[in-house]
Each structure stands twice: as structure tokens, then as C-alpha cells.
A and B are shown apart, each in its own frame.
Chain A
Amino acid sequence: ETGVTQTPRHLVMGMTNKKSLKCEQHLGHNAMYWYKQSAKKPLELMFVYNFKEQTENNSVPSRFSPECPNSSHLFLHLHTLQPEDSALYLCASSQVPGGPSSSYNEQFFGPGTRLTVL
């Protein structure tokens, strides 16, 4: 295992539901990320948090709301999603980027949450 856990692993929700995805890292990292992985498309970066502060929002619709209460935990709150939001949502963590070695850029991914929106 990579030291990054995600729950739930699978989620089916209706368009009017509210649900949350959870990510936890046990690696002592200070940066956390949410990615969306759709079939036949590149991994899309959604959000980046460094030391609990959001540093990147990649033009993500407001129906996706991230929360980072501390450096070990990251949530993605979901509300009134669309069927096209069905995808694998991946969480990753790393040391805060820009450090003295390339290891600062290595991102460790969790197994993902497979989301289906009906």
C-alpha cells in the first residue's frame, strides 16, 4: 500500500444526493491533491492543498467542494452532481513541492473512489 487511503472505494449516488469522499495519508506529507480520472482522458488535477491552504483550483464546478482540516486529511464534498461526473476520484499526497530534490514532486496516490452518478 502507498500510505494513502480513500473511502469509500465505490459510491453510487443520485443527482440530488450529498455525499463526501475521504482521503487520509500516513506519510507525513504536507501537500494533498484531488484528481479526476475518466476513461480515455488524462488525469485531471482538481485541487491542491499545501499546509491546509488551497493553492490550486483547476476551474472545478462548485458542486465539488474540497475541505482540508489538517495535513493528513482531505475531503471532497459532492452536491447535485451530473452523470458526466461519474469517474474515478483519486487522492494524492506529497511533500510540499519546490523543495531541494525531485522527491518533493513525487505524488503518492490512493486507490481511488469509483463514483457513479445516476
Chain B
Amino acid sequence: QQQVKQSPQSLIVQKGGISIINCAYENTAFDYFPWYQQFPGKGPALLIAIRPDVSEKKEGRFTISFNKSAKQFSLHIMDSQPGDSATYFCAASKESGNTGKLIFGQGTTLQVKP
């Protein structure tokens, strides 16, 4: 019930290509879905987040697609660049009555080849 399943575990994309990372959750009470980006030697940093009242959110080259009925959401990175090479984590939490508990996926290591 509390798990967030993320795939793939690793991804290699050519420069200019589209990177797609998928996540699935079980708890229908979750209502906040962020994506975090982590570079080596750094802590995760918030990249983009979505609430389930919208099906898509776009910020620059990064887009979250959200499918509430399927309990799935995905991150699309358009025109992927070598500087996007990092580990990406999806997460989920329940905002109302929230103690701050974010449930993270296992992470996806993205490598963008020049």
C-alpha cells in the first residue's frame, strides 16, 4: 500500500532524445507526486511536482504525465542533454494530515550520451 514502484532502473539515451521514467503507486490517498534529481555527491533536489487534479505539468524540457485511474505517473525529459545525466527519484505523499512522509521509488540512473 505504501510502495512506489519505479522503472527502469537504468536508462541510456542519446543526446536530443526523449527520456521516459515511469512510476506506479498503490495508495489512492496519495495526492502529491514530486520528482527529485540527484547528481553524484549531492542530495536529491526537487525537479517538478504534480497534484492529481491535473493530468500533465510541464516545466521547460521536463513534463510529468499523470494517470489517476491507472495510479501511474511518468517523467518525460525532452531533448535530453548530457547535463541531465543523474539519478531520478519519483515520490508520493499525502498532503492532508501529512507528517511530511515522502515515499520514494527505487531510482533511475539516466545516462545521456553525447
Given known A-B contacts A42-B104, A42-B105, A48-B99, A102 and B32 have beta carbons under 8 A apart: yes
> Do A43 and B89 touch across chains, with their CB atoms under 8 A apart?
yes
- Annotate B24-47 by CB proximity to A: 1 below 8 A, 0 otherwise: 000000001010100001111110
The contact of A106 among B9, B46, B103, by CB within 8 Å, is B46
In the complex, chain A residues whose CB is within 8 Å of the CB of B43: 2, 4, 90, 92, 109-112
> Do A41 and B98 touch across chains, with their CB atoms under 8 A apart?
no
Interface size of B as a range: 20 to 34
A66–B76 Cα gap in the complex (Å)?
Answer: 38
The contact of A109 among B4, B45, B100, by CB within 8 Å, is B45
| A45 located at the interface, meaning its Cβ lies under 8 Å from any Cβ of chain B in the complex | yes
**Interface residue total, chain A, C-beta cutoff 8 A:** 30
> Do B100 and A94 touch across chains, with their CB atoms under 8 A apart?
yes
Given known A-B contacts A2-B43, A105-B95, A106-B46, A55 and B106 have beta carbons under 8 A apart: no
Q: Which residue of A is nearest B98, CB measured?
A: A97
Given known A-B contacts A48-B99, A102-B95, A112-B43, A43 and B104 have beta carbons under 8 A apart: yes
Q: Which residue of B is nearest A90, CB measured?
A: B43
B contacts, CB < 8 Å to A: 4, 9, 32, 34, 36, 41-46, 49, 51, 89, 93, 95-107
Can you pick out 11 interface pairs between chain A and chain B where the beta carbons lie within 8 Å of each other?
Answer: A2-B43, A4-B43, A40-B106, A56-B100, A94-B100, A102-B51, A105-B102, A107-B100, A109-B36, A109-B43, A109-B44
